[in-house]
Amino acid sequence: MDGAEARRRLVAAPVGHLATVARDGKPHVVPFCFAVDGEMLHSAVDHKPKTTTRLRRLDDIAAHPDVTVLVDHYDADWSRLWWVMVRGRALVLDDDERGRDALIAKYPQYRELPPRGPFVRVAMESSQWWSVS
C-alpha cells in the first residue's frame, strides 16, 4: 500500500478509533464517525444516544490537543489485513459548517438529522500505514 491508497482507505473508512490523553495522562480510545476534507479530519457529537453531549474526548482534547486516529481492516484471511494511523492536533468547536458539510456528504444518516455539535477538527500532521500485501 502506498500513500495514495492509505489516504483512500482512510477517507472511505466508515468508522475509526480516536485516541486522546486525559488530564491525568491516561489514554482514552473511542470509536467515532469522521470525514476527511483536505488535511482536516472532522467529527461531531451527534444525535446517537448519549448520557451527555459533553463527552470525555472533548475534555481530553482541551487538556491535550495531540490525538491519534486509527482505521483498520481485519479479515480471517490475514493476507487482507491493513491499518492507517493519523496523528494531529485537535480542536473542539461549538460549530463547524465545513465539518458538518463533510459529515453529511459521507453519512446518509446525517442528511436527515445533521449533527449540531460540538465538533472536533483534527489538523492531520503525519500518517503511517501498513498492509500485508
Q: What is the mean pLDDT of residues 106-131?
A: 95
Instruction: Give the pLDDT score at 51.
Output: 59
For residues 89-117, give the mean pLDDT.
95
Element housing 56 (H / E): helix 56-63
Show the domains of the chain with their CATH numbers: 3-131 (2.30.110.10)
pLDDT for res 54: 67
Type of residue numbered 11 = V
Sorting pLDDT into bands at 50, 70 and 90, what band is 32?
very high
Kindly state the average pLDDT of the residues 77-104: 96
CA-to-CA distance for 32 and 45, rounded, in angstroms? 9
pLDDT category of residue 101 using cuts at 50, 70 and 90: very high
Q: Output the pLDDT for position 10.
A: 98
* Residue pLDDT, tens place only, 39-69: 999 999 876 545 555 678 999 999 999 999 9
Res 133 pLDDT > 60: yes
| CA–CA separation, 36 and 15 (whole Å) | 12
**What one-character DSSP code corresponds to residue 38?**
T
pLDDT on residue 56: 86
pLDDT value of residue 117: 86
Global pTM reads 0.90
Sheet holding 82-93, edge to edge: 27-32, 16-21, 66-73, 82-93, 119-131, 40-44, 35-37
SS3 22: coil
DSSP label at residue 26: -
User: What b-and-e string marks burial along 17-55, b requiring 16 or more CB atoms within 10 Å of the CB?
Assistant: ebbbbeeeeeeeeeebbbbbbeebbbbbbbeeeeeeeeb
